[in-house]
Chains A and B, each alone.
With several copies, the nearest count.
Chain A
Amino acid sequence: MTTTSMTMAKALNEGLRKSLENNKKVLIMGEDVGKLGGVFRITDGLQKDFGEDRIIDSPLAESAIVGTAVGLAIRGYRTVCEMQFDGFVYPAFDQIVSQVAKLHKRSDGVYTMGLVIRLPFQGGIGAIEHHSESPEAYFAATAGLRVVACSTPNDAYWMIQQSIDHNDPIIFCEPKSRYWEKGEVDLESPPAGLFDAVVRREGSDVTVIGYGGTMKTILRAADTAASEGVSLEVIDARGLSPLDFSTMTASLEKTGRLVVAQEAPHTASIGSGIVSELTHRCFYSMSAPGLVVSGYHVPYPPTRLEEDYRPTVDRILDAIDRVMEY
Chain B
Amino acid sequence: MITEELIQLVTPEGERVSHPQYESTLNGEEIFGLYRDMAIVRRLDNEATSLQRQGQLALWAQIQGQEAAQIGAGRAMQPNDFSFPTYREHGIAWCRGVPPEDMLRMFRATSNGGWDAQKYRHSVPTVVLGNQVLHAVGYGMGIQRDGAEDAVITFFGDGASSQGDVLEAFVWASSYNVPIVFFLQNNQWGISTPMSIQSKIPLYHRAGGFGFPGVRVDGNDVLAVYEVTQRALSLARVGGGPTLIEAHTYRLGAHTTSDDPTRYRIDAEVEVWKHKDPIERVKALLAREYSVKNSQFDEVEAEADEKALKLREDVLAMDRPDPITMFDNAYAEFHPLIEEGRHEMIELGVSGGQR
Q: Interface residues, chain A, CB within 8 Å of chain B?
A: 27, 31-32, 34-37, 39, 53, 57-61, 63-64, 67-77, 87-88, 90-91, 94-95, 98-99, 102-114, 126-130, 143-144, 146, 166-168, 242, 245, 265, 267, 296-299, 301-305, 308-309, 314-315, 318
Contact = CB atoms under 8 A, between A and B. Distances in A.
B330 A75 contact: no
A63 B341 CA distance: 32
Nearest to B265: A35
A32 B191 contact: yes
B159 A60 contact: yes
Given A53-B145, A63-B134, A98-B128, A303 B337 contact: no
B190 A60 contact: yes
Contacts of A304: 108-110, 320-321
B263 interface: yes
B142 A61 contact: no
Contacts of A107: 113, 117, 124, 329
A299 B192 contact: no
Most B-side CB within 10 Å, residue of A39, A103, A146: A103
B136 interface: yes
A72 B141 contact: yes
A70 B134 contact: yes
Contacts of B142: 71-72, 74-77
Interface string B185-219: 00000111100011000000000000000000000
B135 A126 contact: no
20 contacts: A36-B191, A36-B192, A53-B144, A57-B192, A59-B162, A60-B198, A61-B171, A67-B169, A70-B138, A75-B139, A87-B128, A98-B128, A98-B131, A107-B113, A127-B59, A127-B109, A297-B337, A304-B321, A305-B323, A308-B351
Contacts of B323: 301, 305, 308-309
A171 B342 CA distance: 25
Given A59-B198, A64-B165, A68-B138, A144 B128 contact: no
A39 B326 contact: no
A67 B138 contact: yes
Interface in B283-335: 320-321, 323, 325-333, 335
Nearest to B143: A75
B352 interface: no
B330 A61 contact: no
B171 A308 contact: no
Secondary structure at the A interface, as helix, strand, loop or mixed, is loop
A67 B337 contact: no
Given A297-B330, A297-B335, A314-B350, 8 more contacts: A35-B263, A61-B171, A64-B165, A71-B137, A73-B138, A103-B124, A109-B328, A304-B321
A113 B264 CA distance: 33
A59 B203 CA distance: 13
Contact of B330 (A59, A110, A299, A303): A299
A60 B192 contact: no
A76 to B, nearest CB: 7
A98 B337 CA distance: 20
Interface string B256-279: 001100011000000000000000
A36 B193 CA distance: 9
A205 B99 CA distance: 55
Q: Which of A61, A95, A107, A108 has the most CB of B within 10 A?
A: A61
A64 B171 contact: yes
Contacts of B119: 110
Contacts of A314: 348, 350
Contacts of B329: 104-105, 107-109
B116 interface: yes
B154 to A, nearest CB: 9
Contacts of B141: 68, 71-72, 75
A59 B164 contact: no
A299 B135 contact: no
A63 B58 contact: no
B107 interface: yes
A37 B263 contact: yes
Given A60-B163, A64-B165, A298-B327, A34 B335 contact: no
A34 B128 contact: no
Contacts of B110: 302, 304
B165 A95 contact: yes
Contacts of A88: 128-129
B146 interface: yes
Interface string B115-127: 0111100011011
**Most chain A beta-carbon neighbours within 10 Å: one of B118, B192, B328, B351:** B192
Contact of B135 (A74, A110, A267, A305): A74
Contact of B193 (A57, A110, A265): A57
B333 A34 contact: no
A142 to B, nearest CB: 11
Contact of A61 (B164, B325, B348): B164
Contact of B168 (A63, A98, A109, A303): A63
A166 B331 CA distance: 11
Nearest to A299: B330
Most buried by A among B138, B146, B264: B138
Given A60-B129, A99-B135, A130-B127, A32 B193 contact: yes
